[in-house]
Structure 1
Amino acid sequence: MASQATPAGDHNLDSQPPPADQSHDHNGLRNTSTNRFVNCVNKTVAQYTEDARLHAVFERAAREPGKTFDYTQCLRTSNELVPEQEISAYLSKMQRGGLIQPFGCTIAVDESDYRVIAYSENARGLLGLMPQSVPSLERPEILAIGTDVRTLFTPSSSAMLQRAFRAKEITLLNPLMVNSMISENIVHNYLICHLLHKPFYAILHRIDVGVVIDLEPARPEDPALSIVGAVQSQKLAVRAITELQSLPSGDYRVLCDAVVEQVRKLTGYDRVMVYRFHEDEHGEVVAESRRPDLEPYIGLHYPSTDIPQASRFLFRQNRVRMIVNCNAEPVKVIQDEALMQPLCLVGSTLRAPHGCHAQYMANMGSIASLTLAVLVNGNEENVVKGLNSMKLWGLVVGHHTSVKYVPFPLRYACEFVMQAFGLQLNMELQLASQLSEKRVLRTQTLLCDMLLRDSPTGLVTQSPSIMDLVKCDGAALYHQGKYYPLGVTPTETQINDIIQWLLEIHGDSTGLSTDSLCDAGYPGAEILGDAVCGMAVAYFTKRDYLFWFKSHTEKEIKWGGAKHHPRDKDDGSDMHPRVSFEAFLEVVNRRSSSWESAEIDAIRSLQLILRDSFIDGDGRNSEVVVRAAGSGEVDGFVIDELSSLAREMIRLIETATAPIFALSVDGLVNGWNPKVAELTGLSIEEATGRSFVRDVVHEESGEVAAELLAGALRGSEERKNVELRLRTFGSEASKNAVFIMVNACLSKDYTEKVVGVCFVGQDVTSQKVVMDKFINIQGDYKAIVHNPSPLIPPIFVSDENTCCYEWNAAMEKLTGWRREEIIGKMLIGEIFGNCCRLKRLDAMTKLMMVLHNAIGGQDTEKFPFSFLDRNGKYVPVLLTANKRVNADGQIVGAFCFLQTTGPELPQAAGVESTTENCVSKMQELAYIVQQVKNPMSGIRFTNSVLEAMDLTEDQRQLLETSVACEKQVLRIMKDVDLGKIEHGSLEFEKAEFVLGNVIDAVVSQIMLLLRERGLQLMHDIPDEVKTLMVYGDQVRIQQIWVDFLSSMVRYAPSPDGWVELQLRPSLKQVSEGLTIVHIELR
C-alpha cells in the first residue's frame, strides 16, 4: 500500500509516541498502561486517517485522465484533514470492495435455504455452467440469484456442503473437495459427463448474511486432492515445526532465519522474508531467504503507512493471504439487490488486491505473493479492556517473479507452521523482556543503594551509573544548580538553555522524551548538531533533573518507501503510491533511535524513587523516616499473612489425595505426605533421610529421577509431567511397582537460594498397567477397546492418514459423541475442532504434532490437552500417543490414550498454587526487607551524627525515642525467616533498659494516627515508672504495646474522642536478687 514517512515526535515518559497533534509532555504521573493504551489507539486512528487520505488521492488520480498521482507531494501534505465519510468509504472499499481474483470463483449462500445471494461473474465459466441461450420457466438460468446452490454440484458434493453448513466451526472443515455439475449443453453422454466433473477446493466461512464459498480449481493430478495428499502437507508442516522447536533459544533472529528457509522449502517462492513491526508501527525486514540472483532486502525499513491499519486488521482476521497474479484483471461480484451493503470479503481467500498494492508488487518485480500473519500474545491491558489478546507482530511474506498458485492444503500447512512460529517467537520475546527487566531492576537497585550511601552525584560518578539504565550515548544530573555530565552531553551553557526551554514550554510536566529535539521545537537543536538529537528528561524536584541523550543514528538505514530527501532523484510523479521500490540510502538526520517503552518505564521508576527521597532539592525527605519507623506494623501484617499461608500449605499437603514429597539438595527425602506413604508402603519416619534415587525410585526410573533432580538444582527449566516408577515396601511390597506422574518445582528460601526440590504427583499405576498390556497385546484388541470396565481409559485410534479408526465406549462417555458419528472422520479439524471444539487454535497444531510424531514412530507421553465435549463442558486430559503396527511390524497408525484428571489433580494444583503464593509472599517480604534496610541505614547514620552533637535534654530524649523505633524495625526485619514463621518461634534479646524510653517510643508511633483521627492522648505516668530500670527484651515489649495502643486508637470514637494511658507496675520478688515487674497497661 502507500508508504509515508511518519514524523517521529517527542512524547511523555509514561506513554507511546502520541499522534502529531497531541501534546508531548505530561501533567503529573498517570497510569502507564492506560496512557500507553490510549496513545496507541490515538496513533492507530491517526494512521487510519492518513491511509484513507492517500487512498482517496490515489483513486481520484486513477479516475481523471491525464492526471498523475504525485506521491511525494502527498507525503508533504500529510496533515490535511480527512472527512469522516471519506474514512468510512475507504474502510468499506478495503473490506467490501466487490472484486475477487480470477483464478477462482465465489458464491455466497443464504444459510437457511441454500439460496444463492451473490456470485462472481466468472463462476459460470469456471464451474462449467454455461447459461441457457433462451432461459424459460421450464429451463431457468443454471446459476443466478436465488438458485439452490446444491444443484450446481454432484450429489455427493452437495451432501458434503449440507453437512458443513450444519457445523458450528465451519472453517475447521476446510477445504472440502467438491465437483461441479457440468452443464448438459456441454456434454450429453453420462460417462463423459462423469469424467469431466470439475474438482474444486471449496473454502467456506460465515459472514453477516450467510456463507461464502470460495472455489479454487484443483488439478486432478494434484496429490492434495486426496486425504493422503492433505496428510502429506501436514507432515511437511510437522517436519518444519520440529526443526523450529529444535533451535537454541536466546535470539529471535535465529528463529526468523529458520522460518524463512522452512516456508520457502514448503512453498517454492523465489523470496521469503520476515517483516517485523516496530513499536512506532514502521516495518523492518529481519530475515530473508531468496534466489541468488535477486536483490537482497534484508535490513530494509519501511514507513508505518506501507501496510495500512485496515490491511493489518484483515491479516488478523484472515491469516493467510495469496495473490496469484497481481496483473490479472479482477472479477466483479454480482449480488442480490435486497442486500443492504456490498458483500463482506474479509475472510475470502480470493479477495482482489487493491490497485496500489498491485503496482507496489509490479515495481519490485513480483507477480505472485503469499503473506502469513505472525501473531504473539499482546498486552494484558487489551485483555482487561475486552480486546483481542493476540498482537500482529509481523508478517512472513513470499514473493515470486511469475504467476504462482499454492493449493489450499499446503497454505493450511503454512498456517500451522506460523502458529508454531508464533509460540516459539513469543517465548523468545518473553525471555528477552525478562532478561532486560532483570538488568534494569538490578541497575535500579544499585543506583538506589548508591543514593542512600552517597550524595546524588554518585548516580553519574560511580559504576553502574544512570547511563547503564537505558541505551544512550550520554547522561547528566542537574542537582542544586550544579551540572554533572557523563558521556556525550551538551555543555553546561547549553544544558541551562535546555532547562530554561523546558520550564517555559513544558513547565507543568514531570518529564519529556523525544528522538528529535529539532522536531520537539527546541531552538538550539541546530547548535547541538548530530551529537545530541534525542533526549529524555525526568524532573525529580522543581530544580533537579536527570537527562539521557542519544546521538543521531550513525548507521545508514535502507528504506523501501519513497521519502522526500534532497538526494532522492525520483520525481515522485508516477501513478502509484511508491515512486520506486528500489531501496535508496537515507542517512538519519537530526534524529536518534526512538526511546522504547521499557526504557521510558525504567526512567519513570527511577524518577519516582528520587521524588520519594527529595523535596525540592533541599535535602532528604523527612517523611521517609516516619514511614520507615512505622513500617513494622505493615511487616507484621505480612508476617501474619505469610504464617497463615504456611499453615494452610502444610494442611493441604498432609490431607492431599495426591502424592507429594520433597528432597533436599543432597537428594535425601525431607518431605513425605500420607498419600505417597500409602502408595509405597513406606512410612514418613522410614522415608525421611533416605536417598530418593538410590532407595526409593525403581531402577527403571533411576536415571530419569537423577536427571530431574540434578537439572532442578542446576536451575534448569522445571520439568512437567514426568513419569517415575517407585519401589514398594511393607504391606505394599506385593505390588510390582507404583507409577506416578510428577511435576517438579524448586524449593527456595526467602533469599532465593535453592534448598531442595518439591514433587507433586498423580497415581497412574492402573492406567499404566492397562496401557502396557494393550500396546503389547498380540492379536485382536477390540475386546479391550470396547470393554466397558472403568479400568479401560478413553481410547481412540488413528489410521496412517489421521482419520479415526476406533473410538471406544470410554471416549463416547467422555465426549458425548457416538462411535458411528466419529469413525472415518479426520481427527484434526473435523473431530477435534468441529465436534470436540478447542479453546485455542494452536491446540490443533499441537495435536497434529503429537499424532504425526506417533505415526512416525515417536511416542508422546502425558501431553496436556483439553477440549469441549458435546455439551460444551471443558475437559482437561493427558494424551499419550503410541505407534500402531500391523503383523509385519509396519506402522499403520497411532493408539491414543486419554487420562482424565481425577479429584487428586485439582487438589494437587491447589497445593502448588498455595506453594507458589507462599513463595511469592516470601519474595515480596524479602523485597520489603531489602528496601527498608537502605533507609534504615540512613536513619542509623543520622542518629549517630546527632548523638555526637551537643543536644538539649528534650532533644536527647527525642533522639533516644528515634533509636528505640529504629531498633524495633531492625528486629522485625530480623524476624523474617520462613522456619521461624512456620514454627511460630521468635528469639528474645534481653538487656537492661529504662522503662520511660519504651513509653516514649510507643507513644511516638501512635501520635500520627491520633492526629489523623482527631483524638487526644491523656496520660499521667509517675516519674518513678519512667525512671524504672528493668531487664528484658525492650523491642518485644515495644511491639506488644504498640499493637495494643494502635487497636485502642483505631476503635476509639472519633472525632473529639480521647485515649487514656495508665501504667500500674507491681513488683514481686521471686528469689534473691530477682524481682519480676508486672505492668498493667490500660
Structure 2
Amino acid sequence: MHRIDVGLVIDLEPVNPADVPVTAAGALKSYKLAAKAISRLQSLPSGNLSLLCDVLVREVSELTGYDRVMAYKFHEDEHGEVISECRRSDLEPYLGLHYPATDIPQASRFLFMKNKVRMICDCSAVPVKIIQDDSLAQPLSLCGSTLRAPHGCHAQYMANMGSIASLVMSVTINEDEEEDGDTGNDQQPKGRKLWGLVVCHHTSPRFVPFPLRYACEFLLQVFGIQLNKEVELAAQAKERHILRTQTLLCDMLLRDAPVGIFTQSPNVMDLVKCDGAALYYQNQLWMLGSTPSEAEIKSIVAWLQENHDGSTGLSTDSLVEAGYPGAAALREVVCGMASIKISSKGFIFWFRAHTAKEIKWGGAKHEAVDADENGRKMHPRSSFKAFLEVVKWRSVAWEDVEMDAIHSLQLILRGSLQDEDANRNNVRTIVKAPSEDTKKIQGLLELRTVTDEMVRLIETAIAPILAVDIAGNINGWNNKAAELTGLPVMEAIGRPLVDIVVSDSVEVVKQILDSALQGIEEQNLEIKLKTFNEQECNGPVILMVNSCCSRDLSDKVVGVCFVAQDLTGQKMIMDKYTRIQGDYVAIVKNPSELIPPIFMINDLGSCLEWNEAMQKITGMKREDAIDKLLIGEVFTLHDYGCRVKDHATLTKLSILMNTVISGQDPGKLLFGFFDTDGKYVESLLTANKRTNAEGKITGALCFLHVASPELQHALQVQKMSEQAATNSFKELTYIRQELRNPLNGMQFTHSLLEPSELTEEQKRLVASNVLCQDQLKKILHDTDLESIEQCYMEMNTVEFKLEEALNTVLMQGMSLGKEKRISIERDWPVEVSCMYLYGDNLRLQQVLADYLACTLQFTQPAEGPIVLQVIPKKENIGSGMQIAHLEFSSQILWILSHQSRSRSYMSPSSIWLLCSLKQ
C-alpha cells in the first residue's frame, strides 16, 4: 500500500499459505528466512568488496531460486558494471560487462530509491487493464506498485536476453558529506544514494511471495551497512596513501624542487592513479609512464596558456570534450588529463588512457540478432558495445580526493618555486643558485607554506584541537571542537576557556595553563566542556587532552595548544557498565526468594559464582563450589558434590556449556540432579554467554528454573489424572476384548440360520439382528478415545436401505419402552420405506439409537406414545444423482379424552442427515 496524489494504491497478490506463513509474525518469519545469509555476510573479513558481493549474489540465488543473480554497480559517471554473478551453468556469463548510463535512466533510478523491490513475474503476460474513475482528471500513477506490468521496451529487452521473470532490488549507501549539501533535490531521500542493484533473472515465469521478497530486502539492508564500511575503509586507505605520498614529495621538494618528484622514488605517479605524468618547467620536459610526445605536450601547454590562462589548472576525463584540438590524435595514448600551473610557464601533467582498455568481456563476443523497429540492438551485448563507442573517448573520472592531493602539491610548489619570468635572462639551470637574502626569503616562503598546510590539517583534523593565549582566551578552535560542543568557531574565538569548561574541570584547566607558562606540558588530563545550541541537550563533552606550549621566535611561551581525544561515548558506556555491574552484584548477592538460582563459570569451566538460591536448592555451600570445575566436581557421577542420574545427563550439560562459550545462541536443558541430602531436583537450566568490554567471551551465566510447590502439586495431580486415565483405558480394553467373544458367537449362530427357510417377518428380524451386531462390532473397534471426545469418528460409505436402518433403531428402543410403558410409533412417508442411500448406516443407527434412548429416558411413563418422524427432501445434482436431506424428530402424543383429539409437542431437538440418494 502506498500513497499517490489522489489517494492510496493497494497491490493485492495471491497467497499460498503452504509457501510462507503470512500471519502477524510474517516480518519475524522473513528475518528468520534471511538469518543464515545475514550471518554469512557479517562473518566475512573486511577489505574485500568482491568477496562480499560474491557471497551476496549466492545467498540471494539460494533464497529465491532464480537462474541468474547479478550485482550491478553504478560508477561515478553513472554507467553500470556487473561486478558479481551467480548463474545456471548453461547460461552465458555477464560478469564484467559495462552498460551505458542510459540503460537505466534517471527516472528509473529515482523510483529505485523510493521502491526498493521490483518484480516481473512474466514479461510475456498480457497486462491487465486499469479501470479508472471518470472523476479523476489525470491518469493514475502506478510507478510505486511492485507488481505493475513492465514497459513494452523493457519486456522486449528481457525477451531478447532469454529472460521471462525478474526481481530487481536496490542497494543504497550513505552519501558523502560534500554531496549532501550539493544535491538540491528535496525529493530524493536525504543522506542516501543509489550504489547499485541486485538483479535476478529467470528463464521461465516465476513468482516470489512477499515474505521472501521482504527477507531479501532485509538482507540487502544488511549488505548496505557492510558496504558502507567497505567504502569508508577504502576512502580512508586512499587518503592515508595520498598523505604519506604527499609527505615524501614535500621532503623531496625541500631538497630538489620540482625535478625531484620526477627523478626520485616515490614520484608524482604514486600520488594519484594515472598512466603517465610530465613536468614542463623552464622550457624543459621530464616524462614518466605513458604520455604524449614532447611536441604534443608543448602543444597542450600552448593551448592551456591561450585558452585557460586565468586558471591555475585543468582536469578532464575527455580532452575531446574539453576542446583540445589535438585530442583525436592522442586518443590511443591519453584521453583524461589533470594539470596544475606551478609557475607562470611551468606545468605538471597527469595522464590517463581511455576506459575501454580496462574493460574485459565476461564471455565470448557475438552479434545480437534481435532489433527493434528502428534497427537498434536490444540485448545486453549490444548495450556493452554501445558503451565501448562512448568510453573510447573518455578516461576514468578524477575523484575529489585525488584533486585535493594534486592541489595541495600545487600550493607547496607555488610557494617554494621562484618565478622564472623575473629571472628569465639569468636562468641557465633548473634551480638557480640562491643568494643569502634569497635563501632567507625562500625560507620564509617555505615556513609560510608549511604553516598554511599545518593550519589546514588542524582545521580538518578528526580530533578536537583548541588553543589559548597567555591570558586564557581562546585563539584556536577547529571544526571538530565546534562539532562536539555546538559552539561555532567565530563565537568561540576570544572567549575565556574557563567560561566554556564545566565547573568541576576549572581547576584542572587553570593548573594546565599555569604549568604551560612555566614551560611544563601536561599529558592525559581529563576535562569537561559545556555544550551549546543543538548539542546542549546531549550534556557535557568529556575530553582527554595533552597540552603543548606555543612559542614565538624568541622561544617565549605565548599560549597553550590542546590536542584532545573525545571520550564522551566511552565514558557513557563505562558509566552504564558500572551501573549494570552494580545491578548485577545486587541481584546475585540478594537473598530474596524472588531471585532464581544463579551460578557462573569462566571459559575454562570453573565456577565463579554460586548465589544464595543455589546454596538452598543444592545444599552445597558457596565456598565449596567456587573455583571447582562445574562438570566433574560440582555436578558429578560420584558421591561428592551434586550427583546426576547418569553419564548422559553430564554429557548434555557439557555440550550446553561448550556451545554457549563458543559464542552460539543461548541454550536450555532439562536438567536433574540429587542435592546433598539425596533429594532429586528437576529444573530447566538456561545458559547465556558472558563477555568483557572488548566483546570477548569470558564464560557463561546460568539460571536454574525450578517449579514452585504449587506447580509441583499441580504436576503431581496431572500425573495422577494421566495414570487414572491409563487405568480406565486398560479396563475399557479388557471389556472390549471380553465382549468380542460373545459377539463372535452370535455372528456364528446367525450364519447357521442363513440356509434355513424363513418367513419374510423372520428374515426382517434376522436382518435387524445382524445390523445390531455390526453396529456393536463397529463401536468395539473405536479405540481412539481422544478423537471420539472431540466428535471425530471414522465414517464408511455403503449402499443401504433406509427402512432397515430405521427398524433396527426402533428395535433398540423397544426394551426400554416396555419397561417404562411407553409405546414407540413411526411416522414417515412411503418414499422413505423404499429409499436407498449411500452413507454410513451403522453410524446412523448409533446416533439415532442414542437419540431415541435419550428421548425415552426423559419421558415420564404413560405420558403417551413416542413417534419417530422422518421428513425427506431431495435435491438434484446433475442428471444421475440426488442429495437427500432427512430430518429426524421425536414427538410425544398426549391423549386428551375430553376433547377426543390428540395434541403433539415437538421434542427440544431434531437431527438432520445429508446423504447421497440412489437414483
User: Max radius of gyration: which structure?
Assistant: 2
TM-score by length of 2: 0.49
Give the number of the structure with larger relative contact order, counting CA–CA contacts within 8 Å between residues 6 or more apart.
1
